[in-house]
Each structure stands twice: as C-alpha cells, then as structure tokens.
C-alpha cells in the first residue's frame, strides 16, 4: 500500500506500507510479552533511558518499541526492539525511523533533560 502525506514542514512524502495480517501481529505481540520477561530486556531498561530522545525517564516509564513496527512486518526480536519513553513511542506510531527523521533531528538539537 502506498500512502501520501505531508511532513511536519508541509512537504509531500510517500510511505510504502506493507501491512501485516492480524494473526501475524497477534503472534508477534505474544513474542514481545515473552521477550519483556527476559533478563536481556531487563538489562536494556536498567538505566531507564529512552532509545530515541535519550531522556532518563526511569525503567518503569519505558515501553518496548518495535523499530520496524509489527504493522509493517516487523518482528519481536532483540534486533528490532528498543526501550522508548511513552511520548516517543506514541509519536512514532507505525512509522519507520526514516519516516519521522525530522522529529529525531529536533530531539538531537535539544539537550537531554536531567
């Protein structure tokens, strides 16, 4: 599926979406629940820092984000999951990082909160 939209600065962009089926997403969400219980994930969230904005929000305020979203065919694997604060995870939604690059650039330009 091809979707046209406007970027934050008004320019047109085209996003190609390869939507995953409901059953595949359901299986991957179950895998994510299991992955969150592993020592590997506990180590990832130990410092309480968001992968995207680098803010220290505390481990209890981090969510598991799929870099390539499940709806776009992403998998619940170690190489595709990162700890993210709820703000970043909600803003990212179903986008790939390249599709919300302007947001990431704006975060890099502002100093992290203590």
The CATH number of the domain where 74 resides is what? 1.10.30.50
The DSSP output letter for 31 is: H
Whether residue 89 lies inside any domain: the answer is: yes
**Whole-number Å distance between alpha carbons of 10 and 48:** 34
**Residue 46 included in any domain:** yes
Domain total in the chain: 1
Is 32 inside any structural domain? yes
12 domain-assigned? no
Q: Model-level pTM? A: 0.72
pLDDT at residue number 7: 45
Asked whether residue 7 is assigned to any structural domain, the reply reads no
What pLDDT, on a 0 to 100 scale, did the predictor assign at position 94? 87
Using the Cα atoms of residue 84, residue 90, residue 94 and residue 96 in order, give the sign of their dihedral.
Answer: negative
- For 36-61, the pLDDT digits (tens) are 999 999 999 999 999 988 999 999 99
Is 13 within the bounds of a domain?
no
The mean-pLDDT minimum among 12-16, 55-59, 67-71, 75-79 falls in: 12-16
Residue 6 main-chain phi, psi, to 5 deg:
-115, 140
Burial grade of 92 (CB within 10 A; 0-12, 13-18, 19 or more) = buried
What is the chain's mean pLDDT, rounded?
A: 82
Model confidence band, residue 14 (pLDDT cutoffs 50, 70, 90): very low
Evaluate whether 90 touches 103 at the Cβ level (below 8 Å).
no
Return the pLDDT at 8: 44
What residue numbers bound the domain in which 76 lies?
Answer: 22-109
Determine, yes or no, domain membership for 114. Answer: no
In a domain, 17, yes or no: no
Cα distance between residue 79 and residue 68, in whole Å = 10
């Amino acid at each position: 599926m091809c979707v046209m939209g406007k970027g934050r600065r008004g320019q047109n962009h085209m996003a190609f979406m390869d939507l995953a089926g409901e059953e595949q997403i359901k299986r991957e969400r179950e895998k994510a629940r299991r992955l969150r219980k592993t020592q590997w994930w506990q180590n990832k969230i130990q410092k309480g820092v968001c992968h995207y904005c680098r803010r220290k929000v505390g481990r209890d305020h981090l969510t598991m984000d799929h870099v390539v979203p499940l709806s776009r065919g992403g998998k619940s694997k170690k190489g595709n999951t990162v700890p993210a604060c709820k703000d970043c995870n909600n803003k990212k939604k179903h986008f790939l990082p390249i599709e919300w690059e302007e947001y990431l650039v704006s975060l890099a330009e502002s100093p992290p909160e203590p």
